[in-house]
Amino acid sequence: MLTPREFHALSLIARGCTDRDISALLCVSLSTSRKYREHLHTKLSLNKSAQLAIYYLEAFPIPDPTNKNQLTSTKLSDRELQIVQLFAQGLSDKEVARKLGISDLTVRKHRSNMQSKLATSNICGLLYEAVANGWLALPLGALAKTDNAADRATAAAVGQGQGRLLS
């Protein structure tokens, strides 16, 4: 079960916040925000921050993602959509490159282009925007090995439902 602070940190990670952003938003030290991320990795048995983001987005869906104020001129190419889907499965740049038969430099360039198009600074923000714009359908499958019902109850108990965290 997540503590209210861990839940809040998880929601910030899912939105693409860095440890430095999290420390500023939660008014904690940088080392404390790093510890939150480490504890979340351990508690949820997930190895990467992208997996934490997908866990959060599957457990607490964005309300009506297709009605979001979309970046109207921004579209991802078919190849970029393929790459986002693989990132959402928790694959690294090199793993995505192997799976698609392209170089990891090409994958990094695609990731950089997508992050520029969507004005995000990391993979978690990229995944969040992909879900929010309706380009990535959830659930992907069971990335997390834990039951998230207890975490939903925690979120409801502390009055921090998904839509009220950073409105």
Query: Could you give the residue ranges of the DSSP H alpha helices within 15-135?
Result: 19-26, 30-43, 49-59, 78-88, 93-100, 104-118, 123-132
Listed by start position, the domains of the chain span 4-61+142-164, 66-132
State the Cα–Cα distance between residues 106 and 94, nearest whole angstrom: 10
85: nearest Cα among 119, 45, 114:
114
User: Any idea which fold 66-132 has?
Assistant: Arc Repressor Mutant, subunit A (1.10.10)
Q: pLDDT tens across 99-153, in order?
A: 999 999 999 999 999 999 999 999 999 999 999 888 888 777 544 333 444 444 4
The dihedral built from the CA positions of residue 116, 117, 119 and 124, taken in this order, carries a sign that is: negative
Q: pLDDT tens across 66-91, in order?
A: 545 554 446 889 999 999 999 999 89
Q: Name the pTM for this structure.
A: 0.74
- Would you say 131 and 101 are in contact if contact means Cβ atoms under 8 Å apart? no
User: Any idea which fold 4-61+142-164 has?
Assistant: Arc Repressor Mutant, subunit A (1.10.10)
Same fold, 4-61+142-164 and 66-132: yes
The Cα-based distances of 100 to 10, 86, 87, 96, 159 in angstroms read: 30, 10, 12, 6, 43
State the Cα–Cα distance between residues 142 and 65, nearest whole angstrom: 21
